[in-house]
């Protein structure tokens, strides 16, 4: 049996569902209950393995408190012959979105946003930049 590769748009939408669900502190089980689904189905949606219907996406937007278009924001542009070079997504943009949607990325962003002093925030950015350049 050949394993089917998920559509990149379904994966992106699923990542956005996961990111928003985690930002509001909701478990897969709780979201599933609100939608009348199992947490396993939510897992499949979040991985892009199962496509989310328009009506289900609308329900999710209501539950998670975002407009439907939120799930499509930052969608990588599909390269075609009509697209000029340099207009596509940055090479590492996908990995950045993956990190931001991860548990560590969300925790880091939540805590960073709580730092009120702009000078401290800039210092942290410089520290991280210097650590990243050491590798």
Let me know if residue 33 belongs to a domain: yes
Quick one: how far is CA 53 from the chain centroid?
18
CA-CA-CA-CA torsion sign (70, 74, 76, 82): positive
84 inside domain: no
**Token pair in block for residue 64:** 């998670």
Q: What is the pLDDT along the chain (135 residues), one digit of tens a residue?
A: 777 888 999 999 999 999 999 889 899 999 999 999 999 999 999 999 999 999 999 999 999 999 999 999 888 766 554 444 444 444 455 567 677 777 788 888 888 888 999 999 999 999 988 998 886
Q: What is the CA radius of gyration of the chain?
A: 18
By residue range, what is the domain housing residue 39? 8-74+91-101
Query: What is the rounded distance in angstroms from the CA atom of residue 86 to the CA atom of residue 83?
Result: 9
Domain count, the chain: 1
Q: Which residue has the tokens 């730092």?
A: 115
Q: What is the DSSP letter of 106?
A: H
């Amino acid at each position: 049996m050949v394993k089917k590769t998920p559509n990149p748009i379904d994966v992106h939408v699923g990542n956005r569902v996961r990111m928003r669900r985690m930002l509001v502190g909701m478990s897969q089980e709780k979201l599933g209950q609100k939608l009348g689904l199992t947490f396993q189905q939510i897992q499949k949606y979040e991985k892009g393995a199962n496509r989310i219907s328009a009506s289900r996406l609308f329900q999710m937007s209501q539950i998670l408190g975002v407009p439907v278009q939120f799930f499509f924001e930052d969608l990588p542009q599909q390269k075609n012959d009509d697209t000029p070079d340099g207009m596509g997504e940055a090479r590492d943009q996908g990995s950045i979105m993956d990190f931001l949607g991860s548990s560590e990325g969300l925790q880091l962003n939540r805590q960073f946003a709580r730092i009120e002093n702009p000078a401290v925030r800039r210092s942290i950015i410089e520290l991280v930049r210097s650590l990243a350049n050491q590798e």
